[in-house]
Amino acid sequence: MKLWQDILGTEEVGSYVGGEVLLGQGDEVELVDPTTEVRLAAYPDGGSQAVREAVAAAEEGGRAWRAMTASQRGRILWGIGQAVRDRLDELASLESRTVGKPLRDAVAETTKVAEMFEYYAGWADKQHGEVIPVPTSHLAYTLREPYGVVAQMTPWNAPIFTAGWQIAPALAAGNSVVLKPSELTPMTSALLAKLGEEAGLPVGAVNVIAGLGPTAGQELVTHDGVEKVVFVGSPATGRRIAAAAGEQLKPCVLELGGKSANIVFDDADLARAVGGAAAAIFSGAGQSCVAGSRLLVQRGVYAEVVGRLAELAGRIRQGAPWEEETQVGPVQNARQLDQIISMVDGARERSAEVVAGGDRLDRAGYFYPPTVVAGVGNDADIAQQEVFGPVVVAIPFEDESEAIALANDTSFGLAGAVWTSSVDRAHRVARQIRAGTVWVNSYKTINVMAPFGGFGDSGFGRSSGLDGLLEYSQAKAVWVETDPEAPLAFGY
């Protein structure tokens, strides 16, 4: 909280709009420390007033941003990366406190924010069009044009990471931004916007709204001044946002949830596969869109892998995010904890076997233990619906074709992994998994340089890399007649 005051000069939490903290007037939103359940702060929903002012500020800020040269924009983006590095520990510490994320993880994610700005800084002056060898006497070329004001909605599991992930490419392509982070974690995103201005961003180029989804979020998506919508969050909200955007024919990118399959073949290095499976689901208390929440294990090694994973789950050190030895912190909020409890209890009632964890910890804070569920088929609710908690379902398979069939028997398609010592099998299976990211003998590594996104209910459009950058501009074709005698065309 001290960081908020240091950087923004006020104790009061609000939106960051047009270079100032704008206090809301709507319903009170409470921020609770997930580790202690103690109230950290409260603020009024920014609502439609914040949205109107933020879009107006973004229109003005965007004009100033686009008036700069591409190289100037690149230097400023690089400077934002440096500003994040300069305040890395403070930003990570606030993120850790408000999300309940172990400090080590928050430091790693905040470092990635700096990398995102540095990566897209390099792209700022390298977005050029092409000359097209058309069969007429025209010079035909393309321009990449930014959309203008882009709306971004982000969730609570990795707020500063997700903010940097979307703000950096949007700016690199010449847009301005109105970002609405989750109402539960609005602070680090607003601080990022302020640090951006200190690094040279025009006032209003990035605005952050502290407000609720159904009020501020909905209003933002449908505001006439918003030209593109990028949403990171749950499939249910994603559907609502895509419908609202579709009504106005606004393009959108949806980065939604997952139920990713982590496939272990009997020829894998089992020690690494088990360690990888634990990290895939238990890190971040399972609150990761790419969490390896379905563990598919070849039958010959199923008992051994599940046994070793259960034993490892029991040894994971859970505790306060600021304690050095903590590997897994609490779940971020009470609603999410209730959802995890109800899904695991529901599976148990339908005769699932809980081989590790399975009961909320008896202490203050939203702590749920690393949990391994077995004895259910891939059609069980717990195997089909996103839990978004530290809960993995283990399912056996016979052979490669059954593994692929099970992996793809989901409405989602965000990620997956294959553990095997066979090179040909690794590539064959990676190719056939219907998901935006597949790891081989690894899990969860991501980098801003590589495209990321979903198939099916995991969404559409891509973030990161060149694909992510291209989402933030559109091609325009310009045809210049070079032959003054050329016949004037009627029709095409």
Residue 142 lies near ligand NAD (rule: CB under 6 A): no
Indicate whether 109 belongs to the interface with ligand NAD (CB under 6 A).
no
User: In this chain, which residue has its C-beta nearest to ligand NAD?
Assistant: 213
Instruction: Based on the shown chain and the rule CB under 6 A, indicate whether residue 237 belongs to the binding site for ligand NAD.
Output: yes
How is the beta sheet containing 20-22 ordered, strand by strand?
A: 20-22, 15-17, 206-208, 176-180, 149-153, 226-232, 252-255, 459-460
Options 109, 219, 252, 289, the catalytic residue: 289
Report which secondary-structure segment, H or E, holds 416. Answer: strand 415-419
- Closer residue to ligand NAD (CB): 414 or 426: 414
- Which CB sits closer to ligand NAD, 241 or 277? 241
Of the pair 182, 326, the CB lying nearest ligand NAD is at 182
Tell me the three state secondary structure of residue 110: helix
If binding is defined by CB under 6 A, does position 234 make contact with ligand NAD? yes
- 289 is a site residue for ligand NAD (CB under 6 A): yes
**Which of 182, 260, 327, 437 is in the footprint of ligand NAD by CB under 6 A?**
182
Strands (E), 85-224: 131-132, 138-146, 149-153, 176-180, 206-208
By CB under 6 A, the residues from 433 to 472 that bind ligand NAD are 454
**394 is an interface residue for ligand NAD by CB under 6 A:** no
The yes-or-no answer on residue 252 being catalytic is: no
**CB-nearer residue toward ligand NAD: 258 or 396:** 258
Residues numbered 244-263 forming contacts with ligand NAD, rule: CB under 6 A: 255-258
Neighbours of 70 (CB within 10 A): 16
* Helices and strands, number each (H, E), in the chain: 16, 20
Answer whether 223's CB lies under 8 Å from 184's CB: no
User: By CB under 6 A, which span of 75-83, 150-158, 440-448, 480-488 interacts with ligand NAD?
Assistant: 150-158
DSSP H helical ranges for 293-448:
299-315, 334-349, 381-384, 400-408, 423-432
Contact 196, 168 (CB under 8 A): no
When binding is defined by CB under 6 A, the residue of 15, 96, 98, 154 that contacts ligand NAD is 154
Q: Find the shortest distance in angstroms from Cβ 381 to ligand NAD.
A: 16
Which of residues 27 and 130 has its CB atom nearest to ligand NAD in the complex? 27
In the chain, the amino acid numbered 7 is: I
Q: Which of 32, 232, 373, 418 binds ligand NAD (CB under 6 A)?
A: 232
Is the C-alpha dihedral spanning 9, 12, 15, 18 positive or negative? negative
Judged by beta carbon, residue 268 or residue 382, the one nearer ligand NAD is 382
Query: Among this protein's residues, is 255 annotated catalytic?
Result: yes
Q: Tell the smallest beta-carbon distance from residue 284 to ligand NAD (Å).
A: 10
User: Residue 215, interface with ligand NAD (CB under 6 A)?
Assistant: no
Give the range of 110-118, 216-224, 357-365, 390-398 binding ligand NAD by CB under 6 A.
216-224
Position among 160, 173, 241, 426 found at the interface with ligand NAD (CB under 6 A): 241
Q: Measuring CA to CA, which residue among 435, 442, 153, 109 is closest to residue 288?
A: 109
DSSP structure class, residue 356? E
**Closest separation in Å from C-beta 399 to ligand NAD:** 30
Task: Please identify, among the stretches 124-132, 140-148, 155-163, 275-283, the one whose residues bind ligand NAD according to the rule CB under 6 A.
Answer: 155-163
Bridge partners, residue 415, by sequence: 437
CB-side neighbour CA atoms (13 Å) of 92:
21
Kindly calculate the radius of gyration of the chain based on its CA atoms and give it in whole angstroms: 24
User: Pairing between strand 261-264 and 294-298?
Assistant: parallel
Minimum distance of ligand NAD from residue 227's CB (angstroms): 16
* Shortest Cβ 47–ligand NAD spacing (Å): 12
Instruction: Supply 295's token pair.
Output: 């563990």
* Count of C-beta atoms within a 10 Å radius of residue 414: 27
Give the residue with the Cβ less far from ligand NAD, 298 or 371.
371
Q: Confirm or reject binding of residue 95 to ligand NAD (CB under 6 A).
A: no
Closest distance of CB 213 from ligand NAD, Å = 2
Q: Cβ atoms within 10 A of the Cβ of 102, count?
A: 26
* Cβ neighbourhood burial of 71 (10 Å; 0-12, 13-18, 19+): exposed
Rounded to a whole number of angstroms, the minimum distance from the CB of residue 250 to ligand NAD is 13
Catalytic residue among 255, 386, 400, 471: 255
115/378 Cα distance (integer angstroms):
38
Question: Which residues ranging from 354 to 393 are in contact with ligand NAD (CB under 6 A)?
Answer: 386, 388
Kindly tell me which of 336 and 420 has the beta carbon lying closer to ligand NAD: 336
Burial class for 146, CB neighbours closer than 10 Å (0-12, 13-18, 19+): buried
Which spans of this chain sit near ligand NAD (rule: CB under 6 A)? 153-157, 180-183, 213-214, 217-218, 221, 232-234, 237, 240-241, 255-258, 289, 386, 388, 414, 454
Enzyme catalytic residues: 255, 289
